[in-house]
Chain A
């Protein structure tokens, strides 16, 4: 069935290093992908998105890579800071025949930054 999953449920990174969070999806019809960050006690917050006609998109210190061949996307965080400690969710959006695009969230990866 449709699913969005993460390879690593937890990730510990030294401050200043780069972080890579991975995500696998199974629906080849998904055309839009989003990464969210959820800090403790808060709701998820949008970080970056990418459409299926792209393979890379860069933001401020973050880069999302999309590999449609293997149905995989990743979130790269450069020079990881303590404030990056959070749970990161990927989400895939699949257009349906109705006006609603089905969005499925992955289980999340907990990123811990070691000072």
Chain B
């Protein structure tokens, strides 16, 4: 298993540009998440999904959109990039299970995004 795969690893955008951060997992996890991590800070939840076709806002959703058409993929879309969106973005997935190791999240390696 590759686990959680994020692409690209690095990206520089100009203000106002758009891009999609890709995330794929091959562990058949039902839950997927997008976080951003600013320098020296913790993780802030942007969006999450509990299954294909179901998404919901997290703590900091403004300026982002997501979709979950399949169990494996959970892309994050930035429509009009702003300098405030300069951050490292992490995708994660978990297998929601009532009795076994619930909510352990498995993270990708991250996408480092700079908006200039």
Q: Verify B102–A43 contact, CB threshold 8 A.
A: no
Partner of A42 from B96, B101, B109 at Cβ < 8 Å: B109
**Sample (12) of A-B pairs whose CB atoms are under 8 Å apart:** A32-B103, A34-B104, A43-B4, A44-B43, A45-B107, A46-B105, A49-B101, A93-B103, A99-B50, A99-B96, A101-B102, A107-B41
Tell whether B56 is near chain A: CB-to-CB under 8 Å.
yes
Chain A interface residues toward B at CB < 8 A: 32, 34, 41-46, 49, 89, 93, 98-101, 103, 105-108
Asked if B42 is at the interface (CB within 8 A of a chain A CB), the reply is yes
B104 near A43 with CB under 8 A, answer: no
The distance from the CB of A98 to the nearest CB of chain B, in whole angstroms, is 8
Instruction: Report the Cα distance A93→B104, complex, angstroms.
Output: 10
The answer to whether A49 touches B104 (Cβ under 8 A) is yes
Question: Which residues of B are at the interface with A, using a C-beta cutoff of 8 A?
Answer: 4, 31, 35, 41-43, 45, 48, 50, 56, 90, 92, 96, 101-110
Nearest Cβ on chain A to B5's Cβ, whole angstroms = 11
How far is A49 from B106 in the complex, measured between Cα atoms in Å? Answer: 13
Distance in angstroms between the alpha carbons of A49 and B101 in the assembled complex: 8
Task: Apart from A49-B101, A103-B105, A105-B43, list 7 A-B contacts with CB within 8 A.
Answer: A34-B103, A42-B110, A43-B90, A44-B43, A44-B90, A44-B105, A46-B106
Alpha-carbon distance A98/B103, docked complex (angstroms): 14
Which residues of A sit under 8 angstroms from B43, Cβ to Cβ? 44, 89, 105
User: Contact between B110 and A43 (Cβ–Cβ < 8 Å)?
Assistant: yes
Interchain CA distance A103-B31 in the complex, whole Å: 12
Min C-beta distance of B91 to chain A, whole Å: 8
Check A43 against B50 for contact (C-beta < 8 Å).
no
Which residues of B sit under 8 angstroms from A101, Cβ to Cβ?
Answer: 96, 102-103
**Residues in B neighbouring A93, C-beta threshold 8 A:** 102-103
Q: Residue of B at shortest CB range from A33?
A: B103
A71 to chain B, nearest CB (A): 18
For the complex, give the distance between the alpha carbons of A93 and B90 in Å. 19
Chain A residues in 8 Å Cβ range of B50: 98-100
CB distance from A108 to the nearest CB of B (A): 5
Find out whether the CB atom of B56 lies under 8 angstroms from the CB atom of A32.
no
Closest to B112 in A: A41
